[in-house]
Structure 1
Amino acid sequence: MKAIYDVPAPAKLNLFLHLTGRRPDGYHLLQSVFMLVDWCDTLHFELRSDGQIQREDLSEALPADDLIVRAARLLQQTGQTPLGAQISVQKNIPAQAGLGGGSSDAASTLLALNRLWGLQLSTEQLCALAIRLGADVPFFIRGRNAWVEGIGDIIRPLETTEQCPPGRFIIVKPEAGLETAKIFSAPELKRDKKPATIAGFAADHYRFGENDLQPVAQRLCPEVTQALNWLASSGLCPRMTGSGSAVFSHMLKQDESKLDLASAPGTWRIKQCSNMEVHPLLGWATSDKSSVGV
């Protein structure tokens, strides 16, 4: 195998995000449902025999040592391979949005290079590397919508449509971004939410709970409030995803005609998406029972 082209890296939405405590080491304990949506970055991988990891940005410029490069180097070191890769990136998912774009790129890099280099690492082995790159990366490696707890390390797949039914969503990313660290360090952040249950979530999938990070984000970034109000003016029930600044709402078919897209600021990025039952790369790790073609 000399190359793998058109590798998708989908975004995720946090359908809710509750903070239930904080560990002595400072890490926050959370509960959330992570859901894949079909807003994707696209990556291309070409084999290099000289051991070099090179990245080409096909759209916006990324930091030199971003998660894609770090993931490739970590896998290269772990697999003790002399091979390298030329990685081309078409970036579509906005940064500082709470959509997990960087984490998803890292996961797709691990999955694709595991194949391209013939390393044959299992899902569990890749997840052990993924957690070293970021708390969200193992979710994308596992490839299923999931109930997430702990510090993001306890991942329970939601494998049926009853647990996570098909839906349409509108996502709004204001021009301003948000730094996750500033939100989690805010003194007014509430960290004492009563633990929820999967049964409670399943009773009202797309209106369940709230995002405990949202009030702090709205104080730090007024555009979050503007985006929430814009969606609410169309009769939707929006909330923020992750640590923002993107907000979203579930939509029924009749809601789409109510949206006045022309009234939104031109600097906002607006995307209508569907959720995904599974990650497009599910089955790419060696231990997986199914296999996806290249």
Structure 2
Amino acid sequence: MTTLTFPAPAKLNLFLHVVGRRQDGYHLLQTVFRLLDFSDELSFTLRDDGLVNLVTPVDGIPEDQDLCVRAAKLLRSRSGTTMGVDIALKKRIPMGGGLGGGSSDAATTLMALNQLWNLNWDKAKLLELGLQLGADVPVFIFGQNAFAEGIGEKLSAVQLPAAWYLVLIPPVHVSTAEIFSNKELTRNTIPIKIPPFSIWQGHNDLEQVVCSLYPEVSRRLKWLKQLENTTIAAMSGSGA
């Protein structure tokens, strides 16, 4: 029985600007993604009966809504393969904390099954499929630190200096959809150009809305900003 095991890394948004909104409702963004050495772990065991089975369901998430399962079924459908898979997930990245855990799991599933099922799809094809699962999925398929534009699909590699990050995970689950639909969200930040730019010149447009709705996030940000030798304290994505 063939089994493959891969990490699914977390990410930070070093800044996140909302620069507009498309007619279909999707927001136009600019952000820098930094991939971390903190990850979930996924194991994939080949099945020959075509079934997709999540061995380790996540509490509170129906299996048909789990991003690993959705990614596997989408790839199975688009590729026409008759193969299936058992998926085992060791969940370490907190959900709803702005670290991209679900998106990373989906991306890792696509890349692992591309190998396990011998599909031999190129990265461009996987990136296109990943975007259908979520705006953060492509960067994990891209596989390196990146400047992202559009709805997250326009990616350019960036070189970032080595750094340590202290990441606090507030005990709340922030709904990304709730934040992006909030009428108080800034949607007209002036776009920046690459290159050159500084990662410290940016901010997170979601931060003000999240802090107003989730005091736990606001309190932790204030605590971080009071620490000595802190270069910058900010919110990643919609919550960490």
Q: Please give the TM-score of this superposition, normalised by the length of structure 1.
A: 0.77
Please give the per-residue CA displacement for 1:17-64, whole angstroms capped at 9, x wherever unaligned: 111112222221111101101110000011111111111228756431
State the AA in 1 paired with 2:233: P
Maintained 8 Å contact 2:211/2:218: yes
Asked if the contact 2:57/2:63 (under 8 Å) is kept, the reply is: no
After TM superposition, the runs of 4+ consecutive aligned structure 1 residues lying more than 6 A away are none
Residue number in structure 2 paired with 1:225? 218
Matched, 1:84 2:105: no
Counterpart amino acid of 1:172?
Answer: L
Q: Helix, strand or coil for the counterpart of 2:132?
A: helix
Query: Against the structure 1 CA distance between its residues 58 and 78, is the aligned structure 2 distance closer, same or farther, given a 3 Å change threshold?
Result: closer
Q: Give me the whole-angstrom Cα distance separating, in 2, the residues matched to 1:188 and 1:58.
A: 36
Q: Is the 8 A contact 1:107 1:137 kept in 2?
A: yes
CA contact (8 A) 1:81 1:117 kept: yes
Q: Match for residue 190 of structure 2?
A: 194
Q: Hey, what's the Cα distance between the residues in 2 that align with 1:27 and 1:53?
A: 30
Cα shift at 1:198: 2.8
What is residue 176 of structure 1 aligned with on the other side?
172
Compute the displacement of 1:145 (Å): 0.8
Percent of pairs with identical residues: 49
Contact 2:13 2:236 in 1 (8 A): yes
Shift of 1:92: 0.3
Q: Deviations over 1:227-272 (max 9, x none)?
A: 101212213231101111x1xxxxxxxxxxxxxxxxxxxxxxxxxx
Letter in 2 for 1:191: R
Match of 1:239 in 2: 234
The letter of the residue matching 1:33 is: V
Give, in angstroms, the shift of residue 210 of structure 1.
0.5
Query: Which runs of 5 or more residues in structure 1 are unaligned?
Result: 247-294
Gaps of 5+ in 2: none
The number of residues matched between the two structures is 237
Provide TM-score, normalisation by structure 2.
0.94
Local SS of the residue matching 1:170: coil
The letter of the residue matching 1:240 is M
Taking only aligned residues, the RMSD between alpha carbons, in angstroms, comes to 1.5
What secondary structure is seen at the aligned counterpart in 1 of 2:151? Answer: coil
C-alpha distance in 2, partners of 1:84/1:200? 45
Task: Report the Cα distance in structure 1 between the residues aligned to 2:49 and 2:58, rounded to whole angstroms.
Answer: 26
